[in-house]
Amino acid sequence: MRKLLLMALILTTGLMVGCGQQEEKAAVEKVKKVKWKMASTFPGSLVQIGTLGVRLQNEVSKISGGNITIKFFEPGALVPALEIFDAVSTGAVDSGWGTPGYWAGKVPALQLFSSVPFGPPSNEYMSWVYFGGGKEFYEELYARHNIKGMLCGVIPPEASGWFKEEIKGPEDLKGLKMRFFGLGAKVMEKVGVSTQLLSAGDIYPALELGAIDSTEFSMPAIDLELGFYQVAKHYYFPGWHQQSTFMELMINLDKWKALSVTQQAQIEAACGDNFRHAIAEGEGIQGPALKTLQEKGVTLHTWTPEMLAIFENAWDEVAAELVESDEDFAKVWASLKDFRKNYKEWKELGYLK
């Protein structure tokens, strides 16, 4: 009798384990594999701002065990670089890689999640996003347009401009035609510069042919790749307009909601790891790039305190105008300012000057 009972118990346990395995297998099979296309605003070969998008593609595939494929497409391969927002919103493209500042014409407040003139370095910026309410604003702004916004990396300070002639005072800026990005462009317009936004591949020929007189684009390691030193030899710092810049992954919201919880977590994990990689890489590659640029005859300049004060006063005017004209901008700007005010004491006490 004991043997029969033992055999019955073993058989019952085996059946329960087998059923559990079958149920688990069935649950896994119900999760459909995802194959998305990702349109990029930046070339995949361009260090950091492009390579981070390619890295995301690869990391998502590895983390998901091949269950999620987000294929990186070069600018213009699917849609023009500056039309990705609408393409993702409508679902014409599954996802997009870029930075929120490119969509200022759609949602002005998104500029505050890209880079902010005289704004925070990456550690402070990230702290506001994840622990100061920034993330909630960011996601809400995108959700209104049927987009799941996900910050997916941050890059270090940029330079603030390439000029063919030395800038000795504010009068030398007046009348210049300059490629400039984001909120910083509005500041430059205040001091007399005529600005326009050009994508990466269009800047060098415009500078060479004289369609623009000067440009800013990114950090030394990226600007070196784009060859601006061949046309302009005066390179200015600090990048008051972009002390740090967020990169992002935009996903059509309907397609995001169709993912399993696990799949969503896998994409978020890949984006989180992109932050680690971006910060470490971005800081590590600037020294060699600056040395190479100087070897190529580039003169490095730092803005005088007087010039920085002019830029900052102009920024205060721009910010006040945007607060007045856009309710969302006003809310997000107030949130960031309050966070920075509260953070200031810790920053001054905790960090070496």
Dump pLDDT digits (tens) for 165-187: 999 999 999 999 999 999 999 99
Same domain, 175 and 43: no
Q: Look at residue 345 and tell me if it is in a domain.
A: no
C-alpha distance from residue 125 to each of 154, 256, 337 (Å)? 9, 26, 11
Same domain, 143 and 247: yes
**pLDDT for residue 28:** 47
Q: Provide the token pair at 131.
A: 């622990």
Determine the average pLDDT of the residues in 206-213.
Answer: 95
**pLDDT for residue 137:** 98
Same domain, 166 and 256: no
Determine the average pLDDT of the residues in 38-55.
Answer: 97
Q: Look at residue 348 and tell me if it is in a domain.
A: no
133 CB-near residues (< 8 Å, 6+ apart): 335, 339
Q: Return the H-helix or E-strand segment holding 121.
A: none
Question: What's the predicted TM-score (pTM) here?
Answer: 0.88
Range(s) of the domain holding residue 187: 161-239+298-326
Percent of the chain at pLDDT exceeding 70: 91
Q: Look at residue 94 and tell me if it is in a domain.
A: yes
Dump pLDDT digits (tens) for 316-332: 999 999 999 999 999 99
Q: Look at residue 19 and tell me if it is in a domain.
A: no
Same domain, 39 and 129: yes
Q: Do 304 and 237 touch, CB atoms closer than 8 A? A: no
Q: Do 221 and 57 touch, CB atoms closer than 8 A? A: no
Q: Look at residue 184 and tell me if it is in a domain.
A: yes
Over the chain, what is the mean pLDDT?
93
| pLDDT tops 60 at residue 32 | yes
Same domain, 81 and 195: no
Q: What is the CATH number of the domain that holds 175?
A: 3.40.190.10
Dump pLDDT digits (tens) for 119-132: 999 999 999 999 99
Q: Look at residue 119 and tell me if it is in a domain.
A: yes
**pLDDT for residue 20:** 53
Same domain, 201 and 57: no
| pLDDT tops 70 at residue 14 | no
**Count of the separate structural domains present in the chain:** 2
Q: Provide the token pair at 29.
A: 């099979």
Q: Provide the token pair at 158.
A: 């940029």
Same domain, 262 and 303: no
| pLDDT tops 60 at residue 24 | no
